C-alpha cells in the first residue's frame, strides 16, 4: 500500500512540475506577444504597408520596400528549397532505403538543421557575394533555401517511409511503374505531412536575420532587382530599432508585429494541417 501511495505522490508531483513548466513557458510567450501588440498596434497604419522608406528625421513613410523585399526573398527561397528538399527526401525513402549513403545524408541533414544560421550566411557570402563584389537579394534567398532543405528533406523522408508498403505492392501488381507509384500513390498518401514540413520550413526562415546580413544586406530604397542589395523586414527592423529617430523605432515595432504574426500564422497553419492528418 505504501508503494502505491508513493507512486501516486510521485506521479502527482511530476504532473504539477510539468504543468508549472508549461505555464512558465506560456507566460513568456504571451508576455512577448502582449508587448508586441501594445507597442506595435499603435504603430500600424495603411502608410506602413504602402509608404516609401522614410528619410532620416522624417515622420512619414513606411515599410513597403522591406515587406516586398522580404516576400521576394522568401518566395525565391521556397522555389529553390522545396523541389530540392522533396526530391532528396523521395530519393532517401524510395531509392536509398537503408543504404549507407542514405543514412549518411540523413545524419548530415540532422546536423544542417541545427547549424547556426550565421554560418550559412557566411558560407553563401563566400561563394556568391564576395566573387560578385556586392550584396544581392538572390544570395539571401539561397542562404534561406539552404536552411529549408534539411527540414523538408527529413519531413518528406519520414512521411514517405510511413506509407504502408502494401500500397506500393498493390500498385505494382496493377502494372504501375515506380514513377507512377511514387507520384500517384505514395505522394497522395503522404501529401499532408509533406505540406506540413514545407509550411514549417517557411516559418523557420521567415524570421531569420543573420544570413541576410551577409547576403542581401539591406536597401533604403524600393527595388525589385534580386541582383542588387534588397531590403527585408528582419534587417530593416534591426536597423530602425537601433536608430535615434522615434518614428523609425515605431516602424521597427510595426515590422516586428507584422513579422511575428506572419511567422506565427504559418506555424499555426502547419500545426492545423498536422492535426488534420493524424485525425484522418
DSSP 171-224: HHHTT--HHHIIIIIIHHHHHHHHHHHHHHHHHHHHT--HHHHHTT---SS---
221, 137: one domain? yes
| Predicted confidence pLDDT, tens digits, the chain (280 residues) | 577 888 888 888 999 999 999 999 999 989 988 888 888 888 888 889 999 888 888 888 899 999 999 999 999 999 999 999 999 999 999 888 778 888 898 889 988 988 899 999 999 999 999 999 999 999 999 999 999 999 999 999 999 999 998 988 898 888 888 889 998 899 988 888 888 888 889 888 988 889 999 999 998 889 999 999 999 999 999 999 898 889 999 999 999 999 888 888 877 776 776 666 555 5
pLDDT at 277: 58
Distance CA 85, CA 69 (A): 24
19, 84: one domain? no
54, 36: one domain? no
Say how many domains are in the chain: 2
In 10 A of CB 2, how many CB atoms? 6
pTM of the model: 0.85
26, 161: one domain? no
pLDDT at 41: 86
CATH number, domain containing residue 179 = 1.10.3720.10
59, 21: one domain? no
13, 111: one domain? no
pLDDT at 280: 53
174, 114: one domain? yes
124, 95: one domain? yes
pLDDT at 213: 92
16, 113: one domain? no
pLDDT at 197: 87
Cell matching residue 247: 518614428
Domain that includes residue 14, residue range? 2-43
Amino acid at each position: 500500500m505504501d508503494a502505491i501511495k508513493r507512486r501516486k505522490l510521485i506521479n502527482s508531483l511530476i504532473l504539477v512540475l510539468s504543468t508549472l513548466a508549461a505555464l512558465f513557458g506560456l507566460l513568456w510567450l504571451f508576455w512577448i506577444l502582449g508587448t508586441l501588440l501594445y507597442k506595435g498596434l499603435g504603430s500600424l497604419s495603411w502608410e506602413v504597408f504602402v509608404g516609401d522608406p522614410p528619410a532620416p528625421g522624417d515622420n512619414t513613410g513606411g515599410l513597403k520596400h522591406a515587406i516586398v523585399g522580404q516576400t521576394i526573398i522568401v518566395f525565391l527561397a521556397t522555389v529553390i528549397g522545396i523541389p530540392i528538399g522533396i526530391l532528396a527526401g523521395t530519393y532517401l525513402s524510395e531509392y536509398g532505403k537503408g543504404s549507407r549513403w542514405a543514412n549518411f545524408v540523413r545524419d548530415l541533414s540532422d546536423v544542417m538543421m541545427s547549424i547556426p544560421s550565421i554560418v550559412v550566411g557566411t558560407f553563401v557570402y563566400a561563394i556568391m557575394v564576395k566573387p560578385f563584389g556586392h550584396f544581392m537579394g538572390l544570395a539571401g534567398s539561397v542562404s534561406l533555401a539552404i536552411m529549408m532543405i534539411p527540414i523538408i528533406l527529413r519531413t518528406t523522408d519520414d512521411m514517405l517511409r510511413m506509407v504502408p508498403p502494401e500500397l506500393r505492392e498493390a500498385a505494382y501488381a496493377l502494372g504501375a511503374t515506380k514513377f507512377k507509384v511514387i507520384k500517384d500513390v505514395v505522394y497522395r498518401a503522404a501529401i499532408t505531412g509533406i505540406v506540413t514540413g514545407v509550411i514549417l520550413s517557411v516559418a523557420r526562415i521567415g524570421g531569420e536575420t543573420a544570413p541576410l546580413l551577409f547576403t542581401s544586406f539591406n536597401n533604403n530604397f524600393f527595388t525589385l532587382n534580386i541582383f542588387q542589395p534588397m531590403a527585408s523586414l528582419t534587417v530593416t527592423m534591426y536597423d530602425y530599432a537601433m536608430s535615434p529617430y522615434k518614428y523609425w523605432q515605431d516602424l521597427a515595432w510595426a515590422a516586428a508585429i507584422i513579422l511575428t504574426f506572419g511567422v506565427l500564422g504559418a506555424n499555426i497553419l502547419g500545426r492545423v494541417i498536422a492535426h488534420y492528418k493524424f485525425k484522418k
